[in-house]
Structure formats: C-alpha cells, structure tokens
Amino acid sequence: MVVMADASAPFRIRGETGDWEVVVGLEVHAQVTASKAKLFSGAATAFGAEPNTQVSLVDAAMPGMLPVPNRECIRQAVRTGMALEAKINRWSRFDRKNYFYADLPQGYQISQLYHPLVGEGEIEVLLDEKDEGSAKRIGIERIHVEQDAGKLMHDQHPTMSYVDLNRCGVALMEIVSRPDMRSPAEAGAYLRKLRAILRYVGSCDGNMEEGSMRADVNVSVRRPGAEFGTRTETKNVNSVRFVMAVVEHEAKRQVELLESGGKVTQETRLYDPDKNVTRSLRSKEDAHDYRYFPDPDLLPLELDDEFLEECRSSLPELPDAKRKRFEDQGITPYNAGVLTAEVETARWFDALLEAGAEPKQAANWVVAELFGALNRRGEAIDKSPVAPEQAAELLALVADGTISGTIAKQVFEIMLESGEGAAAIVEQRGLKQTSDTGAIDAEIDKVLEANADKVAEYKSGKQQLFGFFVGQTMKAMQGKANPQLVNERLRSKLG
Amino acid sequence: MSEITSKTIAELRAGLRAGEFSAREIAEAYNAAVAASKLLNAYTVETPEDALAAAEAADKARGQADLPSLAGIPLGIKDLFATRGVDTTAGSNILKGFKPPYESTVTANLRKAGAGMLGKLNMDEFAMGSSNETSAYGPVISPWRRKGSNVGLTPGGSSGGSAAAVAAEIAPGVTGTDTGGSIRQPAAFVGISGIKPTYGRCSRWGIVAFASSLDQAGPMAKTVRDCAILLEAMAGFDPKDSTSLDLPVPQWEKNLSSDLRGKRVGIPREYRIDGVPDDINALWDRGIEWLKDAGATPVEISLPHTKYALPTYYIIAPAEASSNLARYDGVRYGLRETGNDGLDGMYSATREAGFGAEVKRRVMIGTYVLSAGFYDAYFTKAQKVRTLIKQDFANAFKQCDVILTPTAPSAAFGIGETTDPLAMYLNDVFAVPASLAGLPAMSVPGGLDANGLPLGLHLIGNELDEQTVLDAGLAIEERAGFTARPEKWW
C-alpha cells in the first residue's frame, strides 16, 4: 500500500482494490491558560506544581461544595469563538457528564452537551504557504467549556495508584471541527492554524508539551466521494506531528482491515508515539452511558451586550488580517505567512514597523538575518537580544546609504554580542560607507597593479573577472566603499 | 431550669436582655436537657462546649446596644450542614467520622448572629426519607405518643431529629432542610412550626447535597415568630452558591402581622384527596375559618397538575441525587472498603457498605431515569411537568396571596409501620408541589387528632413572599391556641 504524498493532488491511500479517501475531524481540548484560576473554583493552575497543591475544596468535591463559574474563563472562550468567526450563543448551559473514575472527584465532569457557549465557525488553512490557491476552509461545529480531570500516578506504590488533582477543574475549551479534513497535512495545517489563533487571542498558550492543548482525532476512510465510513476516535494526541501520524496510521489500518474483508468498529483508541501505532481502548458497546443532564448547581449562562462588546473590542488583529495587511504593504505572501504564523514573530515584526522600518526590506531582513541568528543562538524571538527598535535603527542606516548590506551583517553580529546600538557601532568602529572617489581610485589602482595578469585576461575577454576586482577593492577598503561607486570607477579604469 | 427550656427564642432573647437569666444558664439548661434525652436518639453528636462558648461571648456582650439577634441562643443543627471540625455525616455510614474543615454558610450566618451549637441532629440518610428510619444512627423516636399507647412513633423526616429536638425542648430552635417536605412534614408530626423559604434564599454552600434544584435550608421552632427570627439570620446572598438569590433579607420578624385583611387565601380543590383522615380535612376547614377570622377571604383555586407532582419529584430528585452522591467513592474521604477487584471493586464495596437501602434505591432510580433511551421519557418529561406545576402556582397567585392546605395526609405513624416505599413517599404529597416550584411554604400546628397526635396546616406563598406565609402562620397560631406538649417519658 502506498500513501500518495503529492501536495497538488488529493491525498489518497492506494489500496489493493483501489483508492481510498481519509476523512478527519478533530476535537481539540485547549486549556484556558489566560485565566490563572480554574473553571469553577479559585484554585491556581500553574503547570508543574507539586501534586495536590492546587486543589480547592470544590475541586476535591468535598460534601456540600458548589461550583461558581469563573467569568474570565467564559470571556476567553467567547473571544476564542469570535476569533473563529463563530456564532456566540448568548444563552448556554452546563451539563453534567456522569462517570466514575478516581481522577474525577465529583463523579461527573461539568461540560456543555445540549447548549454550548459557541456554535458554528470556521478556519481557513493554507496547505502550501507559498500558494494562496491552496487555501481550504475547515468548519468548526462548536466550542464548549468544560472541566479537566485530575491525573492518576501508577508509579508511586507497588499495589496502589495515587491521584493528583492539580489539573482537576481546570477550564478547557473543546473545539470540535467538522469532518472536513482529507489528509494528514490538512489535519496538521488546521491544528497549527488553530493553535496560532488561540495564541493570538491569548486564551490558550498552545503549549502541547505541557498538555494545555491536545486533540482527539476522528478518522474514517471511504471510496472518494462515497458516504462516510465508520470512524474511530484516537484520544489525547499531544503534538501536530503525532496527529498527522495518527491520521496516516489509522487510515492505513482501516483500509487494510476493509480490504481484507473486515469491518471498522466504532471505538476509542490510544496512540503510542514510541511504536507509532494506535490500539483499541474500548469499543462502542463498552462506551459509558454518561447520563448527561443540566447541572442543577449552576444557572444558565446569559451574556449581555456589554460583555460581548468587551470580548470583541479586546480581540487583537488576527493572523489572516495581519497577513493581508503585510501583503498590502508590499511584503511577499511567503514572508507574510512566515511573519504571521507565530504571534511572537508577528508582534516583534509589528514593533519593527512601528519603529519606522520599511516593510519589504524589514521582512526580508527578519526572515533571512534575524531568524538565522536566532536559530544559530537557539533563542526565541520574544527573547531576541536585539530589540525591534534597535533593528529599525540598523535598517535605517542601510536604507539611507550610511552602511552597506555587507557591513550591516557585521554590525548586526556586533549588536547581538554587545547589545550596543547600530549607529554607535558604526560610529565607533568607523564602518560608515565611503564615497570618497579619491580613496576608492587609489585602492583600485593598487588592486589592478597587483593583479596585472588578471587585468590582461579580463581585457582579452574574460568578463567574469569583473566581480573579482570589485571583491578585491571592497576587501581592501574593509567593505566600507560605496559598492556602486566601486563598480563605476572600475568600469571606467578597465575601459 | 425547665422554665428556660420551655421558653421560645423570642422569650429567651428578651429575658437575656432584661437580665432575667444569663446566656450561660440557657446553655447549661439545654446541655443538661440534651444529655438527658438519649432515648429520643435525636442528637448524633453533642457539642455542649460549643453552646457554652457562644454563651460566654453573649454574656460578655450583654448590655451592648447591638447585641446580635441570636446572642446566647443555642441551636441544634441538622447533620446535613457542614460544621467545622464536628462530625458531619448526613446520617450515613459512608461519611462516618467525616469532620469538614469548613463551615456551611447557613451555620456560619447563625454563628455570626451569636448562636451556639448544642449538637448535630439525626436525620434520614442523605435527607432521603419521611420517617427518620433510614438514618445510619437508627430512627429518632418522637417525643409524642398516641393516647394510651407506648408504641414508638416517628417524628417524620428527613429532619426528624430537628423536629423531635424542638418538640422535646432539647433545643429552642433548629436548622432543617427541605427537598420535598423534609422540614414541613416533621414539623407537622411533632406540633411545631417550620418554614422552607423561596429556593435561593438560603445558601446551599456547605450543605450536603441531596437534590440541588430542590434543597433549601430553613428553621424549625416552637413559634412562627421564632421561625422568622431564625430565617432572617440564616438567609442571605452567598456568592459561593450560584443559585443563591442576590437580594436583601427582609425584616420578616419586624413586619410580622396576623392582620390578613385584604388577603385572599387560595384553597386548591386538587388537595382534597381520597384516603385522607377526616381529622385532617376537618382541621383544614378550621384553618380556613381562622384565616377568615383574621380578615382574609378564601377563594377556591385550581392547581391542575398536582397529581403529577409526586411522580415528577421522584424522577427529578433521585436523578440529581444519583449524580450528587457519586462523589462518595471511597477515594478522598469517608468510608473506604477496598474490595478485591481494583478500582471498580473499591467503588462497589464502599458504596455497598456505606449506603443504606433507601439511598441505594434512589441512586438506582436516578441512574435509570437519566440513562440513554429513558432520559426523554422520564427526566425530560418530568422537567416539562415541573414547568407546568410552576405555571399552576403562577396562575393561582393571580387569584390569591397565600395557599392553605394540610401539611401531611396523616398524623405521625409508628416506627416500622410503613414498609412500602411508595406508601412512605405519599407522606409528601402536599409538600412536594411547592418544592418543585421553589416557593416558600410553612407548616404550623393546628390541633390534635383523635389519638392526641399533632396535625399541621400548610401555607404556600408566592415567590419571595415569605412574609405573607409567616403572617398567615401567625394568624393560625394565634387562633389555634396550640399549646399541647408531649408528656415526658424519656
């Protein structure tokens, strides 16, 4: 069996009996990290705290304790919905999802089944950053708000399990997509874009390693264009790469099963990243009957105009809008895509523009020079040793001809190391570009004299040696000569 | 000291302020009475030191102009209320020995008003019962007996210990909770007053939950005035309970008036049901006369969905309970039976050993009515009927200001006499509709039946109109002249 990976063609799994199409829907659980407190209690939510140090009486479901909704969590979920152009339900309600497990002290999870906070929306993803024609819209079915559960620890005691309730009651947004994705790449692009939007909005830090974002991956296969097949749900997948691997693996597994005369059973599966396989957790027959019903401890959520207006007006410029603005400013689509993919990059770049940098030049410089330097140094852009204002100063020196692009690279290196300003560096080290034709002529004469043989070759037709003379002259002048003048003078001297 | 225990809270308050006795004397009188009441099995825990400490504070503060309303008044607290550091078990083995590190809002409010605690009061397990027989501590024995009989009677339930304590004068006033009649039916059985306020008046924070959409705390005491005093101290907005009403607490006591001129009393025709003893219907008629005498006009009203109230209640309450009681799993507190089959085994062993038969029955019913395939037929339908019942009352209160009915369809019955759960559920047939509608309702004693047992009259008010309920209660109290007290045998 071959998986076709040609980006321009629809993704197909080529089976023994023909081609198959994969259908993917994602349920993404995103923690509302913007709220430092839990959904229904005041307990803190910091990652990595000692077990059971962030547990209130409510989280531990002590007798007589009651949940009270945290306004900030609701606000962040509404803002997220707005960012996904989704319908905000002014009236929503919490339901109890009942099941027994040791990490669930209440014996139920407070969630929203019947009346979620956010209804339909959509996300546009680009399958190829360089090609705007590769855009695809992925539908969002709903976003509801719910509590996270605690965590069992099985390695603390030979016969018993321990429970850590720190995560118990943490606010999650469950963002449910339509089954609109048709390849691992689409699933990956959707998840990356969703993560970017969440991070722009600020509702969720998108930190998949720390579990603040994870996905349940629904996969089915069918003959292209046929009815949906039976789907499986692979739970708690915690990276973009793993989500793509799950889609690919599950699709192949299902095709093999179907082609060997078997049937896909509706079931919950788990992904093992070490072996890159999914395995069955429980089938539909063993599925819990969650006995959802409206939580009688909570009143319905009713959102008023003032609240909604604040949510909307506090939204930042989102990736798509920002990207379009950058393109309108003359930045290439590719650079605009790169500069808006991560909120920190976008913020840094916006600050650079605000400090007066010319957009197109600035974009090229950030993508080529700054990214290169940060990569080399292993630093994130929001921790960049060169601030946007400093970079703007450097770019201004290039733009007005004070220094050449070559010297600019040198100055930038010094800035990275010393933290000094570009103008000061140029001044102190005498790196200003010179347009003194007398000095340039003198150096050219020396170069031509020292390379008489090459001059002869050049004159006999080896035109490509011109660059060599330019290089030698620039080198002799430590790069400070105005390159245009050097060219000009060389041409006239070589005749 | 028996003089002190026969006084009402209003009288104790006045006597304390007038210097007739000290708060310490009050506390000691009650502590002694409590200690001598073991045969009633009303208290599950006695806390005499708590009552004394509050008394000491009250005696120190005596003479101050702003002495809080319940300064020096010791109260009995139903075991459903979390009391810091004191056993709080909801009458269940599954919480045996559980001492919460927190205090319920209602009891904290009472303490703020100066009250001390005599102890925790026995109750039906998780407030599920109408006779106090489902308690893990065994039944409370009513201080009342039938004329010429030694048969032990129930004080009703679920606030059975609370009711018995007031009737036996081993507490001047107590807290109760009412989910479907648990304050009113026991108050009627033992000849005292008890009011369930509008849903949301009293915070549910720190009260062990039975059915969240129905549970309400309320006071039980000798008189209507005492109920008003206690309720004022108990009620109030609590940001820790989302269903708590963000409204000021009215001055119910100050505004008490038995002058009912201009008030219309609704008499619901659907409450005339078969099988209710003549004594009770006769008392109901007397109640109408008393309210007329107080200036009110009786009007016949219709509450057409009344007959569906009990079945509706017995779907909604168990459904919520099945979920509310899921937290008693042996993992974090209370009883743990490890069993021998992993986590599921621990759950079953713990809940098998920890819950009594009635609690198990209701958890099963509740689980069933919420299950896939049955949810719409039972739970959704019950929610719809509940809306219709609320609508019935809304319509009725266009024609009247307060509704009068009997509290319970019988007088107190003997312990062990009612074994059929459905017959037991019928006890709350008059009480449950007001619970489903979240309305304030009260039971006041009206008289004795042929066996010499107390009977109660039931007043249901419009939303937030506890005042009219209390006023009508006072009018009945003044006219019924109910002074009977059980003969001490314990």
Q: What pLDDT score was predicted for residue A286? A: 72
**Residues B11-27: what's their mean pLDDT?**
96
**Residues A248-254: what's their mean pLDDT?**
96
Nearest CA to CA, how far is A284 from chain B (Å)? 14
**Residues A86-91: what's their mean pLDDT?**
98
Name the residue with higher pLDDT: A174 or A491. A174
Name every chain A residue with its beta carbon within 8 A of the beta carbon of B364: none
How many residues in total does chain A contain? 495
Name every chain B residue with its beta carbon within 8 A of the beta carbon of A60: 332
Best probe of the B interface among A58, A62, A286, by most B CBs < 10 A, is A62
Residue A3 pLDDT grade (very low, low, confident, very high; cuts 50, 70, 90)? low
CB contact under 8 A, A291 and B102: no
Give the CATH architecture of domain A437-494: Orthogonal Bundle (1.10)
Q: What pLDDT score was predicted for residue A106? A: 98
**Residues A127-146: what's their mean pLDDT?**
89
**Residues B405-412: what's their mean pLDDT?**
97
CB contact under 8 A, B375 and A289: no
**Residues B138-146: what's their mean pLDDT?**
98
Best probe of the B interface among A101, A161, A164, A293, by most B CBs < 10 A, is A293
Could you tell me how far CA B476 lies from the centroid of its own chain? 20
> Can you give the residue ranges of every domain in chain A?
2-308, 343-425, 437-494
Is pLDDT of A2 > 60?
no
Could you tell me how far CA B403 lies from the centroid of its own chain? 19
CB contact under 8 A, A291 and B367: yes
Query: In chain B, pLDDT over 70 holds for what percent of residues?
Result: 100
Supply the Cα-derived Rg of chain A in whole angstroms.
30
Name every chain B residue with its beta carbon within 8 A of the beta carbon of A115: none
> What pLDDT, in 10s, does the model give residues B113-138?
999 999 999 999 999 999 999 999 99
User: CA A440 to CA B261: how far, in whole Å?
Assistant: 114
> What pLDDT, in 10s, does the model give residues B37-49?
999 999 999 999 9
Both structure tokens of A466? 């011109």
Query: In chain A, pLDDT over 90 holds for what percent of residues?
Result: 77
CB contact under 8 A, A64 and B323: no
| φ, ψ for residue A203, nearest 5 deg | -70, -35
Q: What pLDDT score was predicted for residue A474? A: 87
Mean residue pLDDT of chain B comes to: 97
Residue A7 pLDDT grade (very low, low, confident, very high; cuts 50, 70, 90)? low
CB contact under 8 A, A100 and B206: no
Considering all CA atoms of chain B, what is the largest pairwise distance in Å, rounded to the nearest integer?
69
Residue B158 annotated among the catalytic residues of the structure: yes
Name every chain A residue with its beta carbon within 8 A of the beta carbon of B242: 66-69, 297-299
**Residues B87-95: what's their mean pLDDT?**
98
Is pLDDT of A1 > 60?
no
Both structure tokens of A272? 């093992």
Residue B182 annotated among the catalytic residues of the structure: yes
Q: What pLDDT score was predicted for residue B1? A: 43
In this structure, of A118-132, A167-181, B105-119, B444-458, the range with the lowest mean pLDDT score is A118-132
Name every chain A residue with its beta carbon within 8 A of the beta carbon of B322: 98, 291
Is pLDDT of A279 > 60?
yes
Task: Give residue A202's identity as a one-letter amino acid code.
Answer: G
Q: What pLDDT score was predicted for residue A340? A: 95
Nearest CA to CA, how far is A304 from chain B (Å)? 18
Best probe of the A interface among B78, B327, B351, by most A CBs < 10 A, is B327
Mean residue pLDDT of chain A comes to: 93
**Residues A2-16: what's their mean pLDDT?**
73
**Residues A437-460: what's their mean pLDDT?**
90
The 3-class secondary structure across chain A, one letter per residue, is CEECCCCCCCCCEEECCEEEEEEEEEEEEEECCCCCECCCCCCECCCCCCCCCCCCCCCCCCCCCCCCCCHHHHHHHHHHHHHCCCCECCEECCEEEECCCCCCCCCEEEECCCCCCECCEEEEEECCCCCHHHEEEEEEEEEEEEECCCEEECCCCCCCCEEECCCCCCEEEEEEECCCECCHHHHHHHHHHHHHHHHHHCCCCCCCCCCCEEEEEEEEEECCCCCCCCCEEEEEECCHHHHHHHHHHHHHHHHHHHHCCCCCCCEEEEEECCCCEEEEEEEHHHCCCCCCEECCCCCCEECCHHHHHHHHHCCCCCHHHHHHHHHHCCCCHHHHHHHHHCHHHHHHHHHHHHCCCCHHHHHHHHHHHHHHHHHHHCCCHHHCCCCHHHHHHHHHHHHCCCCCHHHHHHHHHHHHHHCCCHHHHHHHCCCCCECCHHHHHHHHHHHHHHCHHHHHHHHCCCHHHHHHHHHHHHHHCCCCECHHHHHHHHHHHHC
In chain A, the residue whose alpha carbon lies closest to the alpha carbon of B206 is: A64
> What pLDDT, in 10s, does the model give residues A34-60?
998 999 998 999 988 999 999 999 999
CB contact under 8 A, A297 and B243: yes
Residue B78 annotated among the catalytic residues of the structure: yes
Report chain B residues touching chain A, CB-CB < 8 A: 81-82, 88, 90, 95, 98, 100-102, 104, 204-209, 211-213, 239-243, 319-320, 322-323, 325-327, 329, 331-333, 343-344, 347, 367, 370-372, 375, 379
Best probe of the B interface among A162, A291, A302, by most B CBs < 10 A, is A291
Q: Which ipTM did the prediction report?
A: 0.96
> With contact defined as beta carbons under 8 Å apart, do B86 and B130 qualify?
no
Name every chain A residue with its beta carbon within 8 A of the beta carbon of B98: 63
- Cis peptide bond upstream of B323, omega within 30: no
In this structure, of A135-149, A445-459, B172-186, the range with the lowest mean pLDDT score is A445-459
Name every chain A residue with its beta carbon within 8 A of the beta carbon of B199: none
**Residues A76-105: what's their mean pLDDT?**
97
CB contact under 8 A, B100 and A62: yes
Q: Which among A283-287, A304-308, A433-437, A491-495 has the top mean pLDDT?
A: A304-308
- Pairing of β A267-272 and β A232-237: parallel
Is pLDDT of A8 > 90?
no
